[in-house]
Amino acid sequence: MKTRSAFVAGRRRLLVLAGTTLILGGFPFPRRQANAADGKMKIGIVGSGKVGGAIGGAWVRAGHEVMFSSRHIEHDEDLATRLGMNAYAGTPREAVEFGEVAMISVPYHALPAVRDELGDLINGKVLIDTCNPFVWRDGELAEWARKKGAGLASLELLPGARIVRAFNAISYVNMGKAYEQPGRIGMPIASDDAGAVKIVEPLIRDVGYEPVFIGGMDMGKYLMPGTPLAGEHTPHEVREIAKRLRRQG
């Protein structure tokens, strides 16, 4: 019986011969190497559903190299094939190892499993957290996270990561085409790590949004549906709303 590695290697060779770009971890990554000089990066996505797929697709379009991962490798392979050059598929570990920056876009109740599986890889990694706690889906963990504040809860669930909370308060529906009107909509972000914010802000602009830093991870509780920051707002409106929320404490 072939091992998974042998199967993946064989599949890769067939796909490359067919002109498809599908590179899995353990193989060299050809073409252009992403680097700071051209502003392009390697990004690993854990959770390639509606949000992860839309944002990752926008990054591929902008010229970044993106590896998609989820519980369903076939889905990720299909997504990478559709997106073409600079899109890859792999396991969650492969994606995080691949990325200079990683994005976690999974149901909130899955974050403990992400920590258990990827904790050694996310330590010190710039990590974009798009996850929201919903009691109807995530149960007691969501109740705890909402009481603590989603930002502070994510810090506790993913210790050691350089977290920037973003893409949480806005619908995924328009994410894939936000680039058509760049900067029109403000993207509120929260983090305790100024260096991580500096790295993530250009990536947000590449999706088509104008990043608006609203404060530390204690403000992350407002970056989710049902808060005044939810929905689409201009950058100016985001700043004004955040200012009011900070005054309220």
pLDDT in tens, 167-221: 998 988 888 889 989 999 999 999 999 999 999 999 999 999 999 999 999 999 9
User: How high does pLDDT run on average in the chain?
Assistant: 87
Domain formed by 20-25+38-248, architecture: 3-Layer(aba) Sandwich (3.40)
Q: With 50 as the cut, is the pLDDT of residue 26 above it?
A: no
Question: What number of other Cβ atoms are within 10 A of residue 62's Cβ?
Answer: 19
pTM: 0.85
**What percentage of the chain carries pLDDT values higher than 70?**
85
Q: With 70 as the cut, is the pLDDT of residue 35 above it?
A: no
The residue-averaged pLDDT of 129-142 equals 97
Q: Give the pLDDT confidence score for residue 172 in this predicted structure.
A: 87
DSSP, collapsed to helix, strand or coil, labels residue 56 as helix
Of 156, 161, 153, 172, the closest CA to residue 221 belongs to 153
Where do the domains of the chain lie?
Answer: 20-25+38-248
The letter for the amino acid at 132 is N
Q: In which band, very low, low, confident or very high, does the pLDDT at 11 lie, cut at 50, 70 and 90?
A: very low
Lowest-confidence region among 3-12, 49-58, 75-84, 189-198: 3-12
Q: Give the pLDDT confidence score for residue 174 in this predicted structure.
A: 86
**What percentage of the chain carries pLDDT values higher than 90?**
79
Pair of tokens at residue 174: 């328009």
Residue 102 · residue 123 · CB < 8 Å: no
Q: Give the pLDDT confidence score for residue 109 in this predicted structure.
A: 97
Q: In which band, very low, low, confident or very high, does the pLDDT at 37 lie, cut at 50, 70 and 90?
A: low
Q: With 80 as the cut, is the pLDDT of residue 1 above it?
A: no
Q: In which band, very low, low, confident or very high, does the pLDDT at 115 lie, cut at 50, 70 and 90?
A: very high
Residue owning tokens 């909402």: 146
Residue 150 · residue 168 · CB < 8 Å: yes
